[in-house]
């Protein structure tokens, strides 16, 4: 076996956590939200495996919709990630195998890969890193290591692992992976020393690929082919769509872990949670004397054991007991905390009823920054636009609307037809209906513009892009 070297973190960041609606939505899911600290879950995941003595620069796997979040949020915490784009959703096995192949291309065939979900919480980073080092010794002996978590109770929301024989390098073999149990079964598992299956892994890239080739040759071939024929696109590594599409959707557990004889488990106790639903978010929070966990503008009266969070309005409660309330600017969710798993079904029904708030956030992220509707009338629409320093919107025109722009922070470089001019703070300009125009921020601070659109049709689809730095023409 190869000597143990630095580890390549692979961060899987393509998921959409609808159980944490209304905060997590398709357009900006859980991993890219600051749910439990000032950083997003993805940023905290990156910071847990910082490039340095122990770790090589990370490889992030995500999809096209999230590519700018992945790059921007990494760079906000000072980390340069290789961002790999999945052309389609195929569950974790194809993504993880493709990332392993990319890791080999960059760091050599013998590299060790640490595969982490981007949306988990780890409270004790030192204990986590110690567990990674322990797992690396086991992996280097020719094992695919999974991280098992010592249960704090008979949870039914997690899969379990039955450890087998102790290994000389540390950890244990795996006797069995078992599905999410009912409560009685879970209590038995805990009594019998089972561990939670965290869904995070450490393995030699070559070993994972060779095992996958044995059990899932078609899937593995598709994933490796997608890497071999990948292209780069604005600095992203875009997996070949045709190759990748041929891979069946399968989790790495089903594809490899449950079949290989080389699985091992290393037990960890580092304050882990997959914060799969609001009850889990409450559990990792700091309760007050009445057992309430609150975040944002919240006032409670005679309430206990409740979770109340607002990212918008003032939220008040009287006599709440075991209730969860989550509020954003455009949506509110109220439920007994033990019904948190049903949010998934609720969101499905909202999607079926075509509620905007099911998928979209009020603030819409774009490669160049963000925009947010702040007022809407029948024949007008007011937005706040924030353009990142150095960023440029597409050269565009609209058939049905005119636009007034008032710069309220920074300096805009505005193109209208063949004129290019600066608009400073407290100045305004006007884009007539049909006028070819472009907005850019040549400065060093974010540019903030209030845009007042007027016209007979104000849909986002009334846009003709003539030139775009982000290939959206």
Give the binding site for a copy of itself (CB under 8 A). Answer: 22, 297, 299, 301-302, 310, 312-320, 323, 325, 327-336, 339, 342-343, 345-346, 349-350, 353, 355, 357, 374-375, 377, 379-380, 382, 384, 402, 404, 406, 408-409, 425-426, 428, 430, 448, 450, 452, 454
Minimum distance from residue 387 beta carbon to a copy of itself (Å): 14
Q: Contact at 8 Å (CB) between 387 and 449?
A: yes
- For a copy of itself, the closer of residues 280 and 331 by Cβ is 331
Minimum distance from residue 273 beta carbon to a copy of itself (Å): 21
- For a copy of itself, the closer of residues 421 and 430 by Cβ is 430
Residue 291, C-beta contacts closer than 8 angstroms, at least 6 positions apart: 304, 305, 306
Please, what's the largest Cα pairwise distance for the chain? 75
CA dihedral 117, 119, 123, 128 (to 10 degrees): 10
- Sheet of strand 395-397, all strands in order from the earlier edge strand to the far edge: 419-423, 412-416, 437-440, 395-397, 464-467
How far is 287 from 271, CA to CA, in rounded Å? Answer: 16
For 31, the token pair is 């991993």
Minimum distance from residue 22 beta carbon to a copy of itself (Å): 8
Minimum distance from residue 306 beta carbon to a copy of itself (Å): 9
Minimum distance from residue 356 beta carbon to a copy of itself (Å): 8
- For a copy of itself, the closer of residues 68 and 278 by Cβ is 278
Q: What distances in angstroms separate CA 107 from CA 42, 112, 133, 222, one per listed residue?
A: 23, 9, 19, 21
- For a copy of itself, the closer of residues 64 and 454 by Cβ is 454
- For a copy of itself, the closer of residues 180 and 379 by Cβ is 379
Minimum distance from residue 378 beta carbon to a copy of itself (Å): 8
For 347, the token pair is 């969101």
How far is 381 from 403, CA to CA, in rounded Å? Answer: 9
- For a copy of itself, the closer of residues 266 and 407 by Cβ is 407
């Amino acid at each position: 076996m190869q000597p143990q070297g630095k580890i390549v973190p692979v961060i899987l960041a393509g998921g959409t956590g609808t159980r944490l609606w209304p905060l997590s939505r398709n357009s900006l899911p859980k991993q890219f939200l600051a749910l439990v600290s000032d950083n997003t879950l993805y940023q905290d995941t990156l910071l847990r495996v910082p490039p340095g003595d122990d770790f090589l620069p990370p490889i992030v796997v995500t999809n096209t919709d999230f590519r700018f979040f992945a790059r921007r949020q990494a760079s906000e915490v000072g980390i340069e990630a290789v961002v790999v784009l999945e052309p389609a959703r195929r569950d974790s096995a194809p993504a993880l195998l493709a990332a392993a192949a990319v890791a080999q291309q960059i760091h050599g065939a013998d590299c060790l890969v640490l595969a982490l979900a981007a949306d988990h919480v780890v409270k004790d980073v030192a204990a986590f890193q110690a567990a990674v080092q322990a797992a690396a010794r086991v992996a280097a002996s020719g094992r695919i290591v999974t991280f098992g978590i010592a249960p704090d109770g008979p949870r039914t929301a997690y899969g379990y692992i039955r450890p087998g024989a102790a290994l000389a390098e540390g950890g244990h073999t795996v006797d069995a992976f078992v599905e999410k149990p009912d409560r009685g079964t879970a209590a038995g598992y805990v009594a019998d020393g089972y561990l939670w299956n965290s869904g995070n892994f450490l393995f030699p890239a070559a070993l994972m690929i060779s095992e996958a080739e044995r059990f899932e040759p078609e899937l593995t071939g598709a994933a490796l082919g997608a890497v071999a024929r990948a292209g780069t696109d604005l600095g992203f590594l875009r997996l070949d769509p045709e190759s990748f599409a041929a891979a069946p959707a399968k989790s790495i557990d089903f594809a490899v872990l449950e079949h290989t004889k080389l699985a091992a488990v290393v037990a960890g106790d580092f304050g882990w949670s997959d914060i799969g639903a609001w009850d889990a978010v409450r559990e990792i929070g700091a309760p007050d004397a009445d057992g309430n966990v609150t975040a944002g503008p919240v006032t409670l009266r005679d309430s206990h054991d409740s979770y109340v969070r607002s990212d918008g309005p003032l939220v008040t409660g009287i006599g709440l007991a075991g209730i969860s309330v989550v509020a954003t600017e455009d949506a509110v969710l109220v439920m007994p905390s033990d019904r948190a798993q049903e949010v998934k079904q609720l969101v499905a029904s909202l999607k079926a009823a075509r509620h905007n708030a099911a998928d979209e956030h009020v603030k819409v992220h774009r490669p160049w920054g963000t925009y947010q509707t702040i007022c809407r009338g029948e024949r007008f629409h007011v937005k706040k636009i924030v353009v990142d320093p150095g960023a440029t919107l597409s050269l565009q025109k609209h058939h049905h609307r005119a636009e007034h722009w008032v710069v309220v922070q920074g300096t805009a470089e505005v193109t209208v037809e063949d004129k290019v001019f600066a608009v400073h703070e407290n100045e305004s300009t006007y884009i007539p209906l049909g006028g070819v125009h472009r907005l850019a921020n040549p400065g060093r601070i974010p540019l903030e513009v209030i845009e007042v659109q007027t016209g007979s049709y104000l849909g986002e689809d009334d846009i003709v892009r003539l030139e775009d730095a982000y290939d959206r023409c």
